[in-house]
Amino acid sequence: MARKFKSMDGNNAAAWVSYAFTEVAGIYPITPSSPMADYVDQWAAKGQKNIFGTPVKVVEMESEAGAAGTVHGSLGTGALTTTYTASQGLLLMIPNMYKIAGEQLPGVFHVSARTVASHALNIFGDHSDVMACRQTGFAMLAETNVQEVMDLGAVAHLAAIKGRTPFLNFFDGFRTSHEIQKVAIWDYDDLKDMVDMDAVQAFRDHALNPEHPSARGSHENGDIFFQHREACNSTYDALPAVVEDYMNQVNAKLGTNYHLFDYYGAPDADRVVVCMGSFCDVLEEVIDYLNAQGEKVGLVKVRLYRPWSVEHFIAALPKTVKSIAVMDRTKEPGSIGEPLYQDVVTSLFEGGVEGIKVIGGRYGLGSPPSSASSGASAATAPWAPTRTPSRSSATTPTSTCRPTSSTTPRRPAALPLATCALATAPSARRTT
């Protein structure tokens, strides 16, 4: 079906696509995610129907912890349930996230990723909130821009239902959540066509019901807890294929080309950046510029972050790559490297790939501005160390390019900063 175009921001796009699959929304507002729940509440008040033919039941609680409890309870009764949050709000949901994932309930959390307050409060975007949820068991899907939020938000819901795994669907706070773009929107009939209704019925049949009772919330000692905890492994092993299948269905309907990891750049690139989120759009412009100057550089965009697929990541890399710069938008004090960096290093080791230098770097903590002048000076200087060498490595520690301007530029002004990531570093943290 032909798609209509509308101007909207990332929050609006996430709300539009999630409304189609949502029967209950447990909400509590927090910047910059609040507009998502607000849109859903407005549409429900007007009687707008989801793909199941009913308006969404919106329940506003007194905190994000309460909203997460509502999501958990609602999913337990067989209602497809969604919430929207960010930053400390997401962290308040973590206890319930463990339970939702452990019970294999198909909820979806849409997150406009925002800085978690540390030495100071910061309400702008980075990935410190979503990275705190890696161990919960939620699958994690990332988008780069508003159109991708519209397109791939559907994948999160569809895969959650069929894969029996909750999803944390995230995009950068403010940079994507509040950026207005002209996007092609989903027709709800197209979304309904892709839903596995047998999986929906199986979910409802497993719900709490006095007519067919089932046990929940049991207590287990060490003699059996370990075995039951490991029993979910097959579900996570199968999930990348489920996500890939729905990406292929979306590609067939829209003419797009989404994959778990998407490569952009020279087919024979010797330097590659691995990144996820809105910075990928900037990097594409940098790659076009540098390759036009005779360089051989590229970008691997991470879409499905959890569960991480070693096979698909290695397949996305050019065979000619000699060095990789991994760009993390979070900080883990005391670690040997940030999360995405460690995933890349482990993937190369597990995949038996040798001879590639891997450089870990942090960027965009709290969404610092980057101007052309500050980015240019950063691009011509060595990466500045930000922490002492790790216990397991005596080579150059994790580093970052530090812009100094206080201005807020348009996107092209960030190109020189991105160029820094693609420049040949004087040394690397780890050689695999």
| Mean pLDDT calculated for residue range 122-128 | 96
**Closest to 130 in 3D by CA, of 162, 93, 100:** 93
pLDDT at 423: 56
| Mean pLDDT calculated for residue range 108-113 | 98
Q: Distance between CA atoms of 306 and 308, rounded to whole angstroms?
A: 5
Give whole-number Cα distances, 92 to 27, 116, 156, 269, 357, in Å.
13, 12, 22, 42, 38
Q: Output the average pLDDT for the chain.
A: 88
What whole-number percentage of the chain has pLDDT above 70?
A: 85
**Closest to 101 in 3D by CA, of 292, 235, 295:** 235
The pTM (predicted TM-score) of the whole model is 0.88
| Mean pLDDT calculated for residue range 358-370 | 86
Q: Report residue 122 as tokens.
A: 């910061």
Give the domains, in start order, of the chain with CATH numbers: 5-252 (3.40.50.970), 261-431 (3.40.50.920)
pLDDT at 216: 85
What whole-number percentage of the chain has pLDDT above 90?
A: 82
Does the pLDDT value for residue 377 go beyond 90?
Answer: no
366: phi then psi, degrees, rounded to nearest 5: 70, 15
- Model confidence at 374, pLDDT cuts 50, 70, 90, reads very low
Per-residue pLDDT reduced to its tens digit, 390-419:
323 323 333 344 333 333 333 333 444 555
- Model confidence at 369, pLDDT cuts 50, 70, 90, reads low
Mapped onto helix, strand or coil, the DSSP state of residue 173 is coil
Within 10 Å of residue 339's Cβ, how many Cβ atoms?
A: 20
